[in-house]
Structure 1
Amino acid sequence: MANRAYNFNAGPAALPLEVLEKAQKQFVEFENSGMSLMEMSHRGAIYEKVHYDTEKLLRELLSIPEGYKVLFVQGGASTQFAMVPLNLLRPETTAAYVATGSWATKAIQEAKLFGDTTIAASSEADAYNRIPSISELNIPENAAYVHLTSNETIEGTQWAEYPDTGSIPLVGDLSSDILCQPVDVSKFGVIYAGAQKNLGPSGVTLVIIREDLIAKPSLTVPTMLRYDTHAKVDSLYNTPPTFGIYMVGEVLKWLKEQGGAAGMEKRNREKAALLYDLIDGSGGFYRGFADKGSRSLMNATFRLATEELEKQFVKESEAQGFVGLKGHRSVGGLRASIYNAVPLDSIRALTDFMRDFQSRNG
């Protein structure tokens, strides 16, 4: 399609064009039913097949081991900031968090509402421009879990390797980098992810939880905020976001066609290298924010010499069809979110624009 924007939005983000076109064709009538999927009962056979096929494909692409439940819930990752401590904290335990940036900070603030929290490691002193090394982690013996944010979309940092937390469950917010590369699910007790960056549209939240962690909470927790509520009935306790789950399933089919997580990693590393090589080779005109050892494959953050020049960059880029390059309001600067569905051609177009902008303003 000639009028497609170069979409670098941080979320909701780019979806594969092939998936959008297929959904468009199936939108009014699904599977010769005389109805849209959006109109169907979530208890009916047609939707149930979509629901369970999506779970099955997710298990395949993430190589989820036996002993884990896959849940589709609502409320975004921000609701998981509360659900994790509400369900996993026990008397005399603490919630251990790694403070890596804006989203980790939000998770920490939420956990403090429900019990004792500990900062196991932090990069705050470095303006969150890096991920703490595994050797920096100080995990208390009474930790109920250790929580990390796999990829900080605002700062543009990402864990290159996950820590081994032994018998203490590791909880990961993988909202912005899930399926960008293979991940060993068995290292985690809980993984959660909002869908709107790499999995599908907003409105669906994925939770992968080890079955031994699904237990009656020690706190008084509302029914819909309990993992056991959703686990007992395969996420069908109430009406799930049916169309969103269908879209996740279609994105997963597309991902499988691209070679799954391994195929996406190869493609994502090529995309990121194009962008970071240009930044590093610009003679300081473009300045990467994240420490090189912590750079994200999904969100490249960078600055120019002045805020005025950054505003000019955004204005000119928008005029040429680029969307979403303005940095988050809390930190400023510039950011290109290059999630799975962002095509390589979009990165090439962006780097061409960046070279031209530097030639005219350097």
Structure 2
Amino acid sequence: MNYDCQVNFYCKRQALHRATRDISRAIASHAGVIERALLRRKISSSPMKTLFYRSHFHRRQFRWRPSRITTHLHHASAKNDPSVIFVDSFVDRWYRSPKARTGREAMSVEGKVVIVTGAARGIGQEYVRALAAAGARPVAADVSDCSETIDLAKSAGGKALGVKCDVADASSTDAMVAAALKAFGRVDALINNAALYGGLRGGRFETITEADWDAAMTINVKGIWNCCKSAVPALRAAGGGSIINIASLAATFGTPFVLHYTTSKAAVIGMTRGLARELGRDNIRVNAVAPSAVITEGTREFFANKLDKALDVVKSGQAIQRNLQPSDLSGTILWLVADTSAFVTGQTISVDGGTVMN
């Protein structure tokens, strides 16, 4: 099937369905670009514009019923809708472009709205910076002030929205998602990074206080549950998306003397797998990333005067003999946010220099 400037409505039905399916995906993935272009052309209301909104927010219904796309295109063409010319030209350019031919377009996160919790510092801050630099629209959420993170996003050539959020409070996570929807109109991905780490005290399991145990479970486990409950309706409305839960080497390796932290991160992996099976039908993929000890403020606080020795021990168990920097995680995060990972779900990806090999 030739994806040229005009859709051939007289082609075989099966080929037409394949064509309209691909066109609907192209339109849906670039709905914001097309909408802005239509507004510039002062096309305020048309069957095609209705199609953009519906295909963007309800992609599932078009994926399995491409005849609806055909009907909208046919009616719009019959009425000489000026937006058809623009859209046909857009689809033609998209399919002829090197990005479409090589698949690089699917790797892009440009325009995606991504909520990042625990974004005031550390790896969360790095995720926001990397996403902004790649053209995404990150929402930096934290119980602490995110102004430094917002400045980093600007210096990287992008922009970010800062939101105050306590992940242990469901009303706060609801407000976080509402702020993202108000600012950008949709949510495409959620990165559950907020965790209690630097403030924890290590030691033998019988010396861990009940208060410390409960605090770790409240932030590290319940916090993710709250964020997912708040964000999933928005992800469903967008036609699907990606949830990325930050786990830890502590869970995949079984780190001793921090049993509250190790257990909480193991729970994150279990939650990831269960959610992946629940949300797959909604085209929402759920994965976990398990880094080793990253050189951040939290790691320095946790190990305190034992930092150098602890980092040497971690490094000695790795195939790649250096300690993990926040930027080492960016590539994995961007890939999981992008559509390139559209068929990956329920997985725990270790970014640990080859400590745990499955």
TM-score (norm 2): 0.29
More strand by share: 1
Q: Which of 1 and 2 has greater Rg?
A: 2
TM-score (norm 1): 0.29
